[in-house]
């Protein structure tokens, strides 16, 4: 299969890409895709399995979607892996979730390196267990020079927490005389966020049929296109990502204007 981009450059894609994606569209492939990976627990419960089995199954979807995003030429893939609210879950489930990054990176890191993927993290790492933080820090370190897809994990992340952190940093800068309050504009706030060196998401995908943002990238999603799927995250496949991208490419993004 071949993909014809908006600039008419054509590139080969491994795997089966729906023929509809080969037709030129008005909107290019999204530069940044963010995904709220929802439904792992329900997937397990529907099969009479413990909830943690759903989280492990969800790792397979992470791998498949990461490869698919790379194949499509998406520049940034942000995955909502663990929210600041998820600490409220049962202790055994939290412990399992904190072990998943280590397990995932142990099995997938070599392929990520081979594919020139760069691992990033947004969120507060201070509350993470030492083994979780060590695994993530190592993945970030060994992929730091890679120039391909940015695989950005939102881990111990909350949109409101991020905004509070940014406001606090700006207030401290004003107090110390490093910035004039009148100089604080949208760009100044954006520069104080975890994502200061990343483009805002063009497309947000949420699985499991839920229709809410769940405290995810509240500032960055201001003009993001939203796409919802009834599929539970472990059942999400590369074809579903292709379908979301195809729908995105049909949309007319006007950013509040007429065109």
Domain that holds residue 238: 27-156+201-209+220-248
Q: Please, what is the average pLDDT of the chain?
A: 91
Establish if 10 belongs to a structural domain: no
Claim to verify: residue 192 and residue 205 sit in the same structural domain: no
Residue 254 neighbours by CB distance under 10 Å:
9
Vertex 257: Cα angle to 221 and 217 (nearest 5): 5
Helices within the chain (DSSP H only): 40-46, 51-72, 91-114, 130-142, 159-175, 186-191, 238-250
Claim to verify: residue 137 and residue 42 sit in the same structural domain: yes
Structure confidence by residue, pLDDT tens digits, 65-75: 999 999 999 99
Is this structure's pTM higher than 0.85?
Answer: yes
Side-chain-side CA neighbours of residue 132 (13 Å): 20
Contact present, 199 and 76 (Cβ < 8 Å): yes
Claim to verify: residue 115 and residue 125 sit in the same structural domain: yes
Claim to verify: residue 149 and residue 239 sit in the same structural domain: yes
Give the catalytic positions in this structure.
38, 86
Claim to verify: residue 105 and residue 229 sit in the same structural domain: yes
Domain count within the chain: 2
CB proximity list for 110: less than 8 A, separation 6 or greater: none
Claim to verify: residue 175 and residue 131 sit in the same structural domain: no
Contact present, 113 and 144 (Cβ < 8 Å): no
Establish if 188 belongs to a structural domain: yes
pLDDT at 155 over 80: yes
Structure confidence by residue, pLDDT tens digits, 184-214: 999 999 999 999 999 999 999 999 999 999 9
Claim to verify: residue 139 and residue 31 sit in the same structural domain: yes
Establish if 91 belongs to a structural domain: yes
Rounded CA separation 71/122 (Å): 24
Q: Binning pLDDT at 50, 70 and 90, where does residue 58 land?
A: very high
Claim to verify: residue 31 and residue 133 sit in the same structural domain: yes
Q: What is the pLDDT of residue 24?
A: 39
pLDDT at 26 over 70: no
Query: Phi and psi at residue 39, in whole multiples of 5°?
Result: 110, 5
Quick one: which of 190, 161, 168, 164 has its CA closest to 82? 161
């Amino acid at each position: 299969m071949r993909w014809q981009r908006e600039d008419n450059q054509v590139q080969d894609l491994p795997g089966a890409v729906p023929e509809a994606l080969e037709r030129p569209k008005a909107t290019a492939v999204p530069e940044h895709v963010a995904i709220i990976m929802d439904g792992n627990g329900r997937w397990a419960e529907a099969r009479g399995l413990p909830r943690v089995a759903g989280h492990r199954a969800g790792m397979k979807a992470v791998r498949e979607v990461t490869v698919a995003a790379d194949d499509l030429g998406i520049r940034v893939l942000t995955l909502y892996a663990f929210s600041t609210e998820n600490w409220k879950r049962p202790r055994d489930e939290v412990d399992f979730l904190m072990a998943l990054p280590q397990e995932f990176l142990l099995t997938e890191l070599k392929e990520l390196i081979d594919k020139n993927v760069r691992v990033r993290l947004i969120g507060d790492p201070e509350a993470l267990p030492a083994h979780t933080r060590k695994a993530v820090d190592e993945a970030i370190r060994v992929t730091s020079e890679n120039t391909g897809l940015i695989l950005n994990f939102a881990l111990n992340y909350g949109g409101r927490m991020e905004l509070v952190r940014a406001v606090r940093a700006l207030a401290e800068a004003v107090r110390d005389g490093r910035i004039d309050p009148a100089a604080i504009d949208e760009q100044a706030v954006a520069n104080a966020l975890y994502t200061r060196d990343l483009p805002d998401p063009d497309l947000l995908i949420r699985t499991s049929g839920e229709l809410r943002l769940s405290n995810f990238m509240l500032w960055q999603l201001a003009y993001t296109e939203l796409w919802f799927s009834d599929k539970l995250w472990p059942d999400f496949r590369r074809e579903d990502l292709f379908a979301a991208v195809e729908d995105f490419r049909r949309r007319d993004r006007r950013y509040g204007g007429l065109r």
